[in-house]
Amino acid sequence: MSTDELRELIADLVDEEPADVGDDDDLFELGLQSIALMRLVSRWRDEGLDVGFGDLAARPTVAAWAALLARRPDAAPATDGTDEQPTDAGRPAATDESAEFGLALLQHAYWAGRDPAQPLGGVAPHLYLEFDGPGLDPDRLAAAVRRLVDRHPMLRARITDNGRQEILPADGQGTPVVHDLRAVSDTEREQRLAATRDAMSHEMLAIERGEVFRVAVSLLPDGARLHVDVDMVAADAVSFRVLLADLAHCYAHRLDAPETEPIGVTYREYLQARPAARRAVSDAARAYWETRAADLPGAPELPVVEHGTGRPRAQRLAFTLAGDERDAVFAACRRHGLTAAAVIATAYAEVIGAWSAQPRFVVNVPLFDRDPVHPEIDRVVGDFTGSVLLEVDLTTPATFLERARAVQHRLHSDAEHAAFSGVEVLRELGRRAGEQVLAPVVFTSGLNLGELFDEQARALFGDPVWMISQGPQVLLDAQITEVGGQILVNWDVRADLLPDGVGEAMFAAFSRLVRGLGEERTWSVPVPALLPADQLAVRERVNTTAELLPARPLHHDFFASAVASGDAPAVVADSGVLGHAELADRALRVAAGLRERGVAPGEPVAVTLPRGPEQVVAVLGVLAAGGTYVPLGVEQPPARVERIRAVSGHRWAITAEPGEDRVTLTELMAHSPLPEAAGPDPEQAAYLLFTSGSTGEPKGVEVPHRAAVATLDDLVRRYRIGSGDRTLTVSALDFDLSVFDLFVVLGTGGAAVVVPEGAQRDPDHWARAIREHGVTILNCVPALLDALLATGHDLGDTLRQVLLGGDRVGTDLPGRLRERVPGCGFAGLGGTTETAIHSTVTEVGDGPGAVDPDWRCVPYGTPLDGVALRVVDHLGRDAPDHVPGELWIGGAGVAHGYRGDPDRTADRFLTLDGRRWYRTGDLARYRSDGTVEFLGRRDDQVKLNGFRVELGEVEAATAAVDGVARAVAVVVGDAVLAVAVHGTADPDTVAAALPDALPPHMVPRAVVALDRMPLTANGKIDRRAVRAAVAERVADGGDRVEPDSALERVVARVWAQVLEHDGPVGVETPLFALGGDSVLVTVIVSQLRELLDTDAVSARTVFAHPTVRELCRALRAQEPERLDAVAEVVDEIESLAEDEVDRALADR
């Protein structure tokens, strides 16, 4: 091919004059589209030119292509382009026209996805349109439809029960349904039109009877509405253009007009010829994708609802790019050397990423690329769709232009290897993961395919007024199409699977982003947060809290009121009672002793004393001296104490025994009291709490007076805490809930009931203390309340408010509490040590409906006074409602940082727009009412077999099973997911319930019952201890297990045959680890039904029981004894046949 011939060819592709196409012009800037390039590659390969899509896309100029074609040797042509080649080679005889033939890969997936047992299944893949136009003649339309169905065999295709297809005789199929609405009232007319739309747009045509195409017409007073529905198992989007144009042609001609010229090739012949046409590139494509599969991410993790609303419901959202707006966007694409399809795909990816829990994901991109096996193949109706899985990586910041270039590069590279289709890639991913893998987020570009509706169709049938498509295992499908010189942008959304408003919010953000591409500034910056304005308004409202009281030292209120409170109890213990005045006197004596020892303002002083009144005296004494108290539990190992001392730098420790650098309360209280407590700057650290660091080294959190006081002021106001209140100090002094237990009552004239050393793990003692000492407020972690309620003891009648924090708050606790203490208030609080105890609150009311059934646990809730919350993505942008992100807490309660660790402080604490924030590392999401929902720690997310598993979600689903009081999910051994349960439920019952509550990759392989859940010293679940207990009982396994019954042998043989598995199948090996997928499951079901003569086998059963052994157990439960008897016969016959074959071969 000469350079001039090449230039003319290219000019035709980009709709330019050859003289306007320079040797070095970027062809993408001239408007070359990816689909046109794909067709050109197919054409050249068909003609024997060995060129690759990626090579052409990498150097898109006339000069580069000419040089490439000159260097490349000719490949063996797939066809010589004549009518006789190569389709005649495998063409069935005319008498075989109705013989069954196989389904294409995507056809098979469509067929399988109709089964409601399939994930995202129960949906027919179809396209439905309505046209409003001039009056139509029903008889003439009926004749046109019959001629159309006769012309295109696939419009009378029947899909058989065994997953094959056959062409039925025409026999007048396809007669339109006529709705005469001319004489009815306007109201009835609108109702009946809406009913027809609803029925046809969500219809599942009976493809097993050959119903793949349906036409209806509604006759109206001023015209007619044409309704057209086609199942995509018979016709893809490009074929729909063909059949609509042909329908218009047939209608336009009189009934006695000669038949349209027949098409010289059929879809059946295409499927037979295609393997030969693709063989040269399929091996390289397979190798490419098998290499990519090792690191290919999964589908976007959009905020789907856990349980759909029942009937699949598709929703269409649309906007149009037209006129100057369209021209500006397309001009910008050309200016940057990018195709419009790749650019709009990038905008789509950015929006999907904003609503996805993970920034790396794949988008399913259909390709309409018919192999040129025959000159008339473009006139054939059928499913020619291929696909690629486009990887999108939004992990690092990038401008939109940079992102678009990366997407186009990846798309071109992937498209070059599309001979190994997306369906096959998903099967490979499923084999590696041992689970079915889906790619339900789709981007379909029809740019450069021409007008969706040709001029004749629009002239006869009118303008399209409604269009919707849906497909199985599709959550969201974006479609870009040319209609009437405009760009129609549609989204078809499974609205029943998304929270209310999510689809609309995503689409609105997409529309704004695409329209903004006509402005150059959009390209030069990263995509900003796509948070909808209404969601932003809700967050601003809930983050606007009451004005804070003046900042002051943590101990100020106690000492200011101690004299007035006099002998009123301040500390209540089994050993006696300390009044406010006496407590103040002792604390001021301690302060004097510390001052004498040189303790300076802000100097840390350790408090290492057993639980009891002495702890309270010591803490107040340190604060009164102007110091910072450092609580250290008496059970702390000496080595950890030394590491803490090295970080805190404390010179003195108040202990029970004297020693070097240690001082006792007795020694300190021998001094005369200070005349008054020190009044340090509220920004000075009040206490230094050490928590466990991820490296194993303790990290010391410096909490200023100002932060702690802000938290306590809110809670005092909110719960009207005063002199009549008493708290129970169940929390250890080195756990920040103790700050509330002490100071919230000491500063208001109330009393703290202290739990003595040795009773901190004794809920019987707590119950007695609550009852005997009149505790009114209980503040603790959820596990301690659970233990307290489990005792069954009388709790008296004084308890009026329970505040739970520090861990996930189970939804069962409010009800259980009120059974024991009617009318008691209940609140779940969220927060961190770094943000001064508590930062959020959710009040849980009493009575029916108080606990939202959608709660996994009691939410974090809304901010306390002076607190602000953000949920952000990995780039620090605010995440939309329902989307998980990292929780940031800002405002008055934020600590200074980590003592002696500036790097960690800089990483976790930051200042933005004048507000200080703490990055919690917690996963959370906003609900639509402005409530923040805690999802767990980022550390609780694990990767198993390529899937991200959130342990908190596994725990919530398990805890919802009747009889489970508490559940803890852990990973043990070689990536074995297990769950430990405590309660009355039997582990087998729990295991049987989980497949209906969790996706397959989140279903634990083992359920282990524990007599009690191990707790840490602070009363939280000890996950390390749980993991160790579970590991003792869970065997990793992995060896192939042989069948031990005839039924297992029969099922295993079918699996091996369908999956083309080398060697026997282990009965405990998951189906998807063997390479199974939804398509092959349908084949397995079909063969087992026939072989075992049973209807007990269904795709739902296989998905719920994905090993041979589990499946056989489930089948026996449905048909006890009979299936085993049938299997014995089948097994015997199959064995006998093998013996006869062996003997026959031996005799030869």
- Which of 268-282, 403-417, 786-800 is predicted least confidently? 268-282
pLDDT digits (tens, 9 = 90+) for 146-202: 999 999 999 999 998 778 899 999 876 778 999 999 999 999 999 999 999 999 988
Domain formed by 99-267, architecture: 2-Layer Sandwich (3.30)
* Strands, sheet with 223-231, edge to edge from the N-terminal-most edge strand: 177-180, 213-220, 223-231, 126-133, 463-470
pLDDT of 259 above 50: yes
| Distance separating alpha carbons of residues 238 and 385, to the nearest angstrom | 9
Scan for tokens 């996930």, then name that residue.
808
| Distance separating alpha carbons of residues 871 and 934, to the nearest angstrom | 10
Closest CA to 205 of 147, 313, 126, 263: 126
Span between the terminal Cα atoms of the chain, in Å = 60
Domain spans of the chain, in order of start: 3-71, 99-267, 277-526, 553-681, 945-1031, 1046-1147
Give percent above pLDDT 70 in the chain: 90
pLDDT of 1062 above 80: no
Looking at per-residue pLDDT, the higher value among 903 and 172 belongs to 903
Strands of 284-393 (E only): list them: 314-321, 360-367, 386-393
Helices 267-293, 422-433: inter-axial angle, 10-degree rounding: 40
Options 3.40.50.980, 3.10.20.90, 3.90.1010.10, 3.20.20.70; CATH for 553-681 is 3.40.50.980
pLDDT of 668 above 80: yes
Which CATH number does 277-526 carry? 3.30.559.30
pLDDT digits (tens, 9 = 90+) for 318-366: 999 999 999 999 999 999 999 999 999 999 999 999 999 999 999 999 9
| Distance separating alpha carbons of residues 1101 and 1106, to the nearest angstrom | 8
Give percent above pLDDT 90 in the chain: 55
pLDDT recorded at residue 76? 40
What tokens were used for 838? 């508590």
pLDDT of 954 above 90: no
pTM of the predicted protein model: 0.81
Closest CA to 87 of 382, 378, 377: 377
User: Do 545 and 570 touch, CB atoms closer than 8 A?
Assistant: no
- Side chain identity, residue 53: F
The stretch 1118-1122 carries a mean pLDDT of 86
Which CATH number does 945-1031 carry? 3.30.300.30
pLDDT of 85 above 50: no
In CATH terms, the superfamily for domain 1046-1147 is ACP-like (1.10.1200.10)
Give strand pairing partners of 701: 689, 898
Length of the chain: 1148
Band of pLDDT at residue 801, cut at 50, 70 and 90: very high
pLDDT recorded at residue 21? 81
Q: Where are the alpha helices (DSSP H) in 604-704?
A: 613-624, 638-648, 665-668
The topology under which CATH files domain 3-71 is 1.10.1200
pLDDT digits (tens, 9 = 90+) for 270-319: 988 876 655 556 788 899 999 999 899 999 999 998 655 567 888 899 99
pLDDT recorded at residue 84? 31
pLDDT recorded at residue 135? 86
- Which of 681-690, 837-846, 1063-1072, 1111-1120 is predicted least confidently? 1063-1072
- For the chain, the farthest-separated pair of C-alpha atoms sits apart, in whole angstroms, at 120
DSSP 587: H
pLDDT of 632 above 50: yes
Burial class for 1137, CB neighbours closer than 10 Å (0-12, 13-18, 19+): exposed
- Which of 342-356, 651-665, 682-696, 1026-1040 is predicted least confidently? 1026-1040
pLDDT digits (tens, 9 = 90+) for 451-501: 888 889 999 999 999 988 888 889 999 999 988 888 999 999 998 899 999
Half-sphere exposure of 251 (CA within 13 A, CB side): 23
- Side chain identity, residue 276: A
Band of pLDDT at residue 75, cut at 50, 70 and 90: very low
| Distance separating alpha carbons of residues 703 and 685, to the nearest angstrom | 5
pLDDT digits (tens, 9 = 90+) for 771-788: 999 999 999 999 899 999
Closest CA to 237 of 532, 444, 510: 444
pLDDT recorded at residue 273? 80
Task: Confirm whether 99-267 and 277-526 share one CATH topology.
Answer: yes
3-state secondary structure of 204: coil
pLDDT recorded at residue 705? 97
Closest CA to 879 of 304, 345, 353: 353
| Distance separating alpha carbons of residues 973 and 976, to the nearest angstrom | 6
The stretch 720-744 carries a mean pLDDT of 95
| Distance separating alpha carbons of residues 1093 and 1084, to the nearest angstrom | 13
| Distance separating alpha carbons of residues 124 and 206, to the nearest angstrom | 10
> Long-range CB contacts (< 8 A, 24+ apart) of 1128-1133?
1128/1046, 1130/1046, 1130/1050, 1130/1091, 1130/1092, 1131/1046, 1131/1049, 1131/1050, 1132/1046
